[in-house]
């Protein structure tokens, strides 16, 4: 028998309020109960929605892999309410991890540290390290506190699909495979956390994200380690960084001379979506009247661009296009994470 769709419970916490409204408190209590019973709950974080289970419950964590269709070789990030909870999960707590955590947590940076005995094999894919992150989203931290246990949570999408930045994206992707969705609105950052390997010295970025290399080097007061696995497309230390990832269903191309490329595709009779960084440029305006073309003006600021990227890809995937063309962003540190996600999406 098919399972029903999960309930989608709205949650909110206005900046001015000392505690969340009563209705939100009840939704979090229900989520905590589902988790305690070994269930799966999709939760908002500041980066993307996560699919959570109690990290110390191996059986519950196995359900995450099944719901996502994720290979068991790809380890999960464990979400904690504070630094103390993270330290308790680590066999040792490197000085570099301590420095980054004290300067940037709660926030969108994940630290890979030596794994302690509390974490089951299924979370780390059998490896001797564990990835920990304390999310900036207050409601996520409050839920972890209510549960009293760390939560393993990958992005709440089917494996290899674009990560969800709204509860509606989660419902579409995972629907009746999960038990509950908490709807905290659109994620502010919009792309996944930076992953930093702190088991090596100097630390190495395994996945670029909202906290950039220059910012981390400033925090540490010294350079990070050489070219990361993510940048070289390697998968050695971060198995999830396989080249094709975060991909929309529609084929996506990054183009330097995008107007020419779009013109060629239209000439072939194709329906095209174009993420444009230069909506007011003459060559963009010249194409604006094309019936088979959807132009999406994208922000010139990298953080604003990131916040909108996945929602744009989700929306274009529904428009029955045969191609998505993306203006290549600048090759600077500030654009590193967006460039990484676009490159993977173009697989
Ligand atoms: O922003 C985020 O990080 C979101 C939210 C939900 O927190 N989570 C997320 O999880 O993006 P996921 O599973 O989609 O990506 C986790 C990444 C993968 O590339 C995985 O291989 C890597 O982190 N990872 C997890 N544990 C690791 C470990 N012990 N060593 C190296 N890489 C690890
Ligand atoms: Mg993911």
Nearest ligand to residue 131 Cα: 1
Ligand 1 binding pocket includes 153 (Cβ within 6 Å): yes
Each domain of the chain, given as residue ranges in start order, spans 7-236, 252-346
Residues ≥6 apart with Cβ < 8 Å to 164: 42, 48, 49, 155, 156, 157, 170, 173, 310, 314
Confidence of residue 231 (pLDDT cuts 50, 70, 90): very low
Reported pTM: 0.95
Dist CA 115 CA 340 (whole Å): 27
Residues 293-313 have a mean pLDDT of 98
User: Would you say 43 and 52 are in contact if contact means Cβ atoms under 8 Å apart?
Assistant: yes
pLDDT for position 238: 61
Query: What burial letters (b/e) apply to 239-265, b meaning 16+ CB within 10 Å?
Result: ebbeeebbbbebebbbbeebbebbbeb
Confidence of residue 237 (pLDDT cuts 50, 70, 90): low
pLDDT tens readout for residues 140-189: 999 999 999 999 999 999 999 999 999 999 999 999 999 999 999 999 99
pLDDT tens readout for residues 184-230: 999 999 999 999 999 999 999 999 999 999 999 999 999 999 864 44
Report CA(51)–ligand 2 centroid distance (Å): 10
Ligand 1 binding pocket includes 251 (Cβ within 6 Å): no
Confidence of residue 248 (pLDDT cuts 50, 70, 90): confident
Ligand 1 binding pocket includes 343 (Cβ within 6 Å): no
Report CA(205)–ligand 2 centroid distance (Å): 16
- Bridge-based pairing of strands 323-327 and 252-255 is parallel
Lowest mean pLDDT, pick from 11-20, 67-76, 237-246, 306-315: 237-246
Ligand 1 binding pocket includes 50 (Cβ within 6 Å): yes
Ligand 1 binding pocket includes 241 (Cβ within 6 Å): yes
Report CA(242)–ligand 1 centroid distance (Å): 12
pLDDT for position 3: 83
What is the CATH number that goes with domain 252-346?
Answer: 3.40.50.11030
Report CA(260)–ligand 2 centroid distance (Å): 33
Nearest ligand to residue 112 Cα: 1
Residues 84-92 have a mean pLDDT of 98
Show the tokens assigned to 324: 């998505």
Computed over every residue of the chain, the mean pLDDT equals 94
Report CA(74)–ligand 1 centroid distance (Å): 8
Task: Decide if pLDDT at 295 tops 70.
Answer: yes
For ligand 1, atom 17, the nearest C-alpha belongs to 240
Nearest ligand to residue 75 Cα: 1
List the beta bridge partners of residue 53.
Answer: 152
Q: Name the residues around ion ligand 2, CB cutoff 5 A.
A: 155
Q: Which CATH number fits domain 7-236: 3.30.2320.20, 3.90.870.10, 3.40.190.10, 3.40.50.20?
A: 3.90.870.10
Task: Decide if pLDDT at 232 tops 60.
Answer: no
Ligand 1 binding pocket includes 208 (Cβ within 6 Å): no
Ligand 1 binding pocket includes 239 (Cβ within 6 Å): yes
Dist CA 1 CA 7 (whole Å): 18
Within 13 Å, how many C-alpha atoms sit on residue 246's CB side? 28
Nearest ligand to residue 163 Cα: 2
Largest CA distance in the chain: 62
The CA-CA-CA angle for residues 1, 165, 207, to 5°, reads 110
């Amino acid at each position: 028998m098919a399972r029903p769709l999960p309930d989608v419970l709205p949650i909110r916490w206005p900046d001015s309020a000392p505690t969340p409204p009563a209705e939100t408190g009840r939704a979090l209590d229900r989520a905590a109960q589902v988790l305690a019973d070994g269930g799966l709950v999709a939760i908002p974080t500041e980066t993307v929605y996560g699919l959570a289970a109690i990290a110390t419950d191996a059986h519950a964590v196995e359900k995450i892999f099944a719901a996502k269709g994720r290979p068991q070789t790809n380890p999960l990030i464990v979400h904690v309410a504070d630094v103390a909870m993270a330290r308790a999960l680590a066999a040792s707590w490197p000085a570099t991890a301590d420095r980054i955590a004290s300067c940037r947590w709660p926030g969108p940076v994940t630290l890979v540290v030596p794994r302690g005995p509390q974490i089951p094999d299924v979370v780390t894919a059998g490896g001797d390290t564990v990835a920990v992150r304390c999310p900036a989203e207050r409601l996520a931290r409050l839920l972890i506190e209510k549960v009293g246990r760390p939560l393993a949570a990958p992005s709440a999408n089917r494996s290899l699909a674009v990560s969800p930045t709204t509860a509606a994206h989660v419902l579409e992707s995972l629907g009746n495979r999960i038990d509950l969705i908490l709807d905290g609105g659109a994620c502010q950052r919009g792309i996944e956390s930076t992953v930093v390997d702190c088991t090596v010295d100097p630390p190495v970025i395994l996945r670029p994200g909202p906290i950039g290399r220059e910012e981390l080097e400033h925090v540490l007061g010294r350079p990070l380690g050489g070219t990361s696995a993510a940048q070289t497309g390697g998968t050695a230390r971060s198995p999830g960084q396989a080249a094709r990832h975060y991909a929309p269903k529609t084929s996506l191309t990054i183009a330097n001379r995008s107007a020419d490329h779009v013109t060629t595709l239209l000439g072939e009779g194709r329906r095209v979506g174009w993420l444009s960084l230069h909506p007011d440029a003459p060559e963009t305006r010249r194409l604006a009247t094309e019936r088979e073309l959807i132009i999406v003006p994208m922000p010139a600021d990298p953080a604003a661009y990131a916040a909108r990227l996945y929602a744009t890809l989700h929306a274009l995937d529904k428009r029955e296009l045969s191609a998505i063309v993306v203006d290549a962003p600048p090759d600077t540190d500030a654009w590193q994470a967006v460039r990484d996600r676009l490159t993977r999406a173009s697989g």
